[in-house]
Structure 1
Amino acid sequence: MHEFLFAATIYLLAAVIAVPLAARLGLGSVLGYLTAGIVIGPVFGLVGAETQDLQHFAEFGVVMMLFLIGLELTPRTLWDMRHKLIGLGGLQVGLSTAAMMALSMALGLEWRPALAVGMIFALSSTAIVLQTLSEKGLMQTGGGRSAFSVLLTQDIAVIPMLALLPLLALMPTASLKDDGSISRASDHGEAVHSTMSLVEGLPGWGVTLVTLAAVAVIILAGIFLTRPLFAFIHHARLREMYTALALLIVLGIALLMTLVGLSPALGTFLAGVVLANSEFRHELESDIEPFKGLLLGLFFITVGAGIDFDVFLREPLDLIGLTLTVLLIKGVILYLLAVLFGLKGRGKWLFTLSLAQAGEFGFVLLSFSRQQNVLPAGLADRLSLVVALSMLATPLLFILYDLLSRKMGESDPHEPDMIDEQGPVIIAGIGRFGQIVNRLVQSSGFKTVVLDHDMETIRLMRQFGFKGFFGDPTRPELLHAAGLKDARVLVVALDDPSAAARLVAFARRERPDLHIIARARDRTDVFKLYQAGANDIVRETFDSSLRAGRYVLENIGLTNFEAAEAEKVFYHHDREAIRELAQVWDPNVPSAQNPAYVKRARELEKDLETALLAQLEKRQSEDD
């Protein structure tokens, strides 16, 4: 027991020291976790053999992360991504595998182990890349969404790779030397351990049917069993039961996928997509998020702690050279694909630099390759170190991206985000005014889609857990992507009055039935917005001025009720007056020189005075 407590204390202590330091230095949490692992592992030797076992456990952080990502993607959004999944992702996996295979054969490997090496290094780190993209608020950018598409394709590609690896072993009793040549002289006599499996011993068609049945079970259970399960748990009135159910869903699906030979991460991602439209989505997210964060952090620490510095110190230049070669080859392929698929500027460099490393699934393929006698133990150990070193370099590549972004400056503006969500309320502009509206609507349980043209504002929102999309809200394609066709309310809170009027006019033409609420600075803006088609208009200082006026009335003799009634009468009168004045207002003529406007304004002012006096007289008669 004390050994477990000692190891747990060491891991947690390393994390709480290294990660905040890395975050304060602007290096990101991933580099902090990796550094913590290196310090407690290879440097001081505070942890040892348990690291590999912990890594298998911590890989559930990746599984949970993909489940949460799936919750953010509706089936419709996933279908819209099909071209990037198949085209961009498929080309990346295929070209990277071929390039790394060619390099391996040039270094003396036979084609079978060379193909295995190619598949291993074709994959990138889903855990590190998605974690860093989320921290930096880059997930919704063009480069971020393209990187996510490739990572998702890679996770799917792991399945056929695992199926292909056993076919690359020349014979069950043959072994490979470290240089990749074949040794047939001895039988290693390794015991074959049976594992739990639903497809073991089945013919090919049987495996296919069982696999499809497992996928169907996940989809049908997500559609028909989620509501009864949550209703059953609700009767217990225990908060921890919701957490237990969320963990049960993730772990149960991961187990089912393992039993049919599929990737647990792929299965939980599929379940997340099925539940993306569920009313329990936010409950699941809040329950799983803490476990995902801790397990991912533990995974990164084990990667750092698992680096074998003895092997590294024996041939440091060779291993660093191989790592740089992998980064360079993959980087060139990614850059060419970014150009081919139309990524520009920052998005192109983000896509290239974020995916150049090898990934955590590389460790899985390496281990499986050794078990299947595809790669020799010595070669697998060196390749494992190259995978770890390339993952360790990923935070540095993101730092390079930040430097390139700052160097590009305003000459290369950010590409608009790819909008993958729709909701009943669209908020255009998320400054001081829009963010209060957004928080109130979301806290009341309604979904909003936020658009803003200020990238720093969007990043700041994401740091506080509020999702927003970067782009010009006046662009028709962004509004349609945000769900203008089906939205119930549009809130226009832009700083530029002319842009706000254009947006209101466009939205009114597209949706005559849409309720449009707009922000205005003064009466002139109000008139323009009413003429453009807004339903409700809020002047920036109007409500605060009304409240101040009510306080004045309360302190010069009126009761609180009388002051509130006067405020209410003034508010309703002013609202109707503004609507009527908007009918006679002419933007080409100053208001003071517009006879119709002046006449109607005077009439309405007298009406206000009459209404206020009537209200006070009514109150006095009631008191008498």
Structure 2
Amino acid sequence: MRGGAFTAAESARQDEPPTVEQATSLFMQVVLILGGGIVAGTLFMRIGLGTVLGYLFAGIMMGPVFQLIGEGKEILHIGELGVVFLLFIIGLELKASRLWALRRQIFGLGLTQVVLTGAALTGIAILFGMNWQAGVVIGFGLALSSTAFGLQLLEEAGETNTRHGQSAFSILLFQDLAVVPLLAAIPFLAPFSDGAEVDIERIALSIGAIVALLVVGKYLLNPLFRIMATSGAREVMLGAALFVVLGSAMLMEAAGFSMAMGAFIAGVLLAESSYRHELEANIEPFRGLLLGLFFIAVGLSLDLSVIADNWLMILVLTPVLMIVKAAFIYLLSRAFGQSHATAVRVSGLLAQGGEFGFVLFTASAASLIFPRETSSLLIAIVTLSMALTPLATWLARRFSIEHTEEETLEEDFEGAGSAVLMVGFSRFGQMAAQVLLSSGIDVTIIDSSAERIRNASKFGFRIYFGSGLRKDVLEAAGIRKAKLVAVCTNKRETTDRVVDLIRSEFPNVSLYVRSYDRSHALSLRARGVDFEIRETVESALAFGAATLDAFGIEEELADRIVEDVRRRDQARLKLQEAEGFYAGNDMVTTRVVTPEPLVKPRPSLQAIEKSADENGDTSPIDEGPPRKRRRGRPFAGRRRNFDKVQSR
């Protein structure tokens, strides 16, 4: 991957400016790539083979078969940025606490699988006549499985949180980590290397680049994002995200490592940042588009003549690869204490080759570790193994005797989302979060105010920067794995838009919402929220109860009065919900309680709710027909205690 995109750019600058015909041809190729990717990706997704194979098929059809597009090398260089963005997102998800929770499976099962499977496949490659450098790349490249395929199949089957899903995820996570040193090792394995003298200089430069990236990431990135977040301009945050990814990639590429390693390190440094979800949401569209372009370019670069000449070898080696990988994964899973059912399901899910194999084999061919024909042969084997993955998972399910009894884990992977997603960290949200956190319930909080995030961090709260009005931010914050979403935003208009978005895109999640006033509460109920409450209702009732205490009203009687007001308020809301806003006005009148605790207020104090208070409730109050005022003191015969006022 080193220098691919930049070498192409430099050579382009040395050529003559493109003519109109060349520009038209370029635009035509872009249209063909987009159209072919859309059609093939959608078709393959519908038949259950996944978009990766669809993009490969589109590239093969447009390139080697119909020759609609010429050489795919230039497109491949641009598509390599998709791998860069993918590793940045992987780094964002690798919080230290998450790695620690899965440490045994990641660094035990995952490490053992990569090392032993890679060593076995390396030995097989050497037996087929490869030198040891090519054998290492081939063996460890084929030892990797498809993260895109594995996670997609788990997600579609709803098995992400099962035991075999957790084990598969751990293995894939370590394989993603292993890609970084494997890519970094390619320049050292390549023939015609610069020698020992240059190696010392390269190592010193590499260490300096890593140290510089660590310092910048630790001390400058968070303040930089905080400053830009205060501007409120989404395009500024988007540009900053691209700058961080591409800048770190260029720095590491200049130091002799792969661009992917630089992006990965930058992602890890930002994994604990409050802006992690916003960064992931901004990068994700570019990652998907460019990674799709990469797979299309791989198809464009495929040499069908090599496949035609070696079709028998491909048909033989593909099942050999899948059987060897499945056997190693099964035995290692059993050695690490997994049940027979779990081991079979994991081995069937991860028996195929992975998309990172395309990256390793293509980069190795460019570095002359082995011929391009060998790269095409290996890519064909990996592609065929991917196509056979649905069949392998079906067979694994059939051979898994205990699969129907396998329990679903209650806990989720930390960092991938919490049980509760809170949108908006207002004063209301702060108190609600206190209740949840005190009960041991994990809460993911997002807010679009950089100032609020900075102030909350002083008190130990972890809040992520992001807008609840964006579907991609909600997904990055883990809404699909949340059991409940608490919308605690300040403005009524913002709350309505968040509720409409969640109800439209995520209809199965429970929605608890803070309402602005009575009319807003009715509007939210019409939108189908599971629970709503006006911010001032309970505080006003508590305040009223405290005033009753000041007048010496007995606690039991005061509780009855407050509960009666609360009950009638809810009954009135239900009536208004059914008959309209002005229904139930007569229910506002205080009902007679024996012994009667209250007297009718003076006429000047009747229209309490007609003034616009901070709650914004402007509904009229109908006091009903006047009642006769009782003679004598209103609290005669009851205990008074004007000196003792308790907050309730």
- TM-score, scaled to structure 2: 0.60
1:260-275 mapped onto 2 (5 Å cutoff): 260-275=255-270
* 8 Å Cα contact 1:345/1:412 also seen in 2: no
Q: Distance in 2 between matches of 1:259 and 1:76?
A: 32
Aligned letter for 2:77? Answer: H
1:13-24 mapped onto 2 (5 Å cutoff): 13-24=35-46
Instruction: Determine which of 208, 218, 224 is the counterpart of 2:219.
Output: 224
Instruction: Determine which of 59, 68, 72 is the counterpart of 2:80.
Output: 59
Query: Residues 405 and 39 of structure 1: is their aligned pair in 2 closer, same or farther, counting only changes over 3 Å?
Result: farther
Q: Deviations over 1:163-200 (max 9, x none)?
A: 6667767x85xxxxxxxxxxxxxxxxxxx9x9xxxx99
- Alignment partner of 1:337 is 2:332: yes
Q: Distance in 1 between matches of 2:69 and 2:116?
A: 39
Query: Residues 140 and 615 of structure 1: is their aligned pair in 2 closer, same or farther, counting only changes over 3 Å?
Result: farther
Structure 2 equivalent of residue 322 of structure 1: 317
Instruction: Determine which of 390, 408, 411 is the counterpart of 2:405.
Output: 411
Query: Residues 555 and 98 of structure 1: is their aligned pair in 2 closer, same or farther, counting only changes over 3 Å?
Result: closer
* Deviation for aligned residue 1:361: 3.5
- Alignment partner of 1:211 is 2:216: no
1:423-502 mapped onto 2 (5 Å cutoff): 426=420, 466-468=479-481
* 8 Å Cα contact 2:576/2:582 also seen in 1: no
Query: Residues 412 and 621 of structure 1: is their aligned pair in 2 closer, same or farther, counting only changes over 3 Å?
Result: closer
Q: Distance in 2 between matches of 1:555 and 1:294?
A: 49
How big is the alpha-carbon RMSD for the aligned residues of Structure 1 and Structure 2? 4.9
Aligned letter for 1:320? Answer: L
Instruction: Determine which of 421, 424, 444 is the counterpart of 2:415.
Output: 421
* Deviation for aligned residue 1:279: 2.1
Structure 2: gaps spanning 5 or more residues? 1-22, 423-435, 454-460, 464-473, 484-507, 511-530, 534-562, 609-622, 627-648
Q: Distance in 2 between matches of 1:16 and 1:211?
A: 40
Query: Residues 400 and 4 of structure 1: is their aligned pair in 2 closer, same or farther, counting only changes over 3 Å?
Result: farther
1:553-592 mapped onto 2 (5 Å cutoff): 559=585, 563=587, 565=588
- Alignment partner of 1:309 is 2:304: yes
SS in 1 for 2:479: coil
Structure 2 equivalent of residue 383 of structure 1: 378
* Deviation for aligned residue 1:125: 3.3
* 8 Å Cα contact 1:427/1:448 also seen in 2: no
Q: Deviations over 1:557-608 (max 9, x none)?
A: 864xx65x56xx89xxxxxxxxxxxxxxxxxxxxxxxxxxxxxxxxxx947x
* Deviation for aligned residue 1:224: 1.9
Structure 1 equivalent of residue 175 of structure 2: 154
Query: Residues 467 and 260 of structure 1: is their aligned pair in 2 closer, same or farther, counting only changes over 3 Å?
Result: farther
* Deviation for aligned residue 1:251: 0.8
SS in 2 for 1:414: coil
SS in 2 for 1:243: helix
* Deviation for aligned residue 1:310: 2.2
SS in 2 for 1:20: helix
Q: Deviations over 1:31-73 (max 9, x none)?
A: 4333333333344332231x23322321222221232233233
Structure 2 equivalent of residue 77 of structure 1: 98
Structure 2 equivalent of residue 8 of structure 1: 30
Q: Distance in 2 between matches of 1:448 and 1:112?
A: 47
Q: Distance in 1 between matches of 2:230 and 2:222?
A: 13
* Deviation for aligned residue 1:362: 2.9
Instruction: Determine which of 122, 125, 138 is the counterpart of 1:117.
Output: 138
Query: Residues 414 and 16 of structure 1: is their aligned pair in 2 closer, same or farther, counting only changes over 3 Å?
Result: same
* Deviation for aligned residue 1:142: 4.0
Instruction: Determine which of 349, 353, 357 is the counterpart of 1:354.
Output: 349
* 8 Å Cα contact 2:56/2:296 also seen in 1: yes
Instruction: Determine which of 281, 286, 291 is the counterpart of 2:286.
Output: 291
Q: Distance in 2 between matches of 1:369 and 1:83?
A: 32
Task: Compare 122-131 and 405-414 and name the one that shifted more.
Answer: 405-414
* 8 Å Cα contact 1:133/1:139 also seen in 2: yes
* Deviation for aligned residue 1:552: 8.1
Structure 1: gaps spanning 5 or more residues? 173-191, 429-436, 450-460, 471-492, 496-516, 520-536, 571-604
Q: Distance in 2 between matches of 1:546 and 1:346?
A: 56
Query: Residues 244 and 349 of structure 1: is their aligned pair in 2 closer, same or farther, counting only changes over 3 Å?
Result: farther
Query: Residues 37 and 119 of structure 1: is their aligned pair in 2 closer, same or farther, counting only changes over 3 Å?
Result: same
* 8 Å Cα contact 2:161/2:408 also seen in 1: no
